[in-house]
Amino acid sequence: MKKFLIIATSIDLVRISPDHIVYIASDGNYSTLMQTDGEMRMLSFQLGQIEKMIASQLGCDGNIFIRIGKSLIINRSYIYYINISKQKLILSDVATFNHTVAASKEALKQLKELLEKEAR
């Protein structure tokens, strides 16, 4: 059975397939979830809380998500382009969406090294 990430508050609930999440960005005490269809959802949780939800609800399937620095959780399936010097990360499926996000040089360097190591 396919797993879904369920993020619920006292007034609403988001039930979403992990492969429909491009990234989740920190926004103070809130987070913004960007979906593959271009929809953005404001979540009343901090990234650390969302990380725990991903781990507890998705288990091993949650490994498609990577925390980048303090402000970003990305879906590794959509990593398309990394430029460390410009602090630029492009997340794309190369067909329907293309999102550019900023991250620290150190976070992007670590991500690049991780992907290179996995490719070997």
The number of distinct structural domains making up the chain is 1
Judged against a pLDDT cut of 80, whether residue 1 lies above it is answered with no
Average pLDDT over the chain, rounded to an integer: 95
**Among the listed residues 107, 19, 20, the one whose alpha carbon sits nearest the alpha carbon of residue 64:** 19
What pLDDT was estimated at residue 25? 97
Q: What is the pTM of this model?
A: 0.94
- CATH number of the domain that 75 lies in? 2.40.50.1020
What pLDDT was estimated at residue 119? 87
pLDDT-based confidence at 61, cuts 50/70/90?
very high
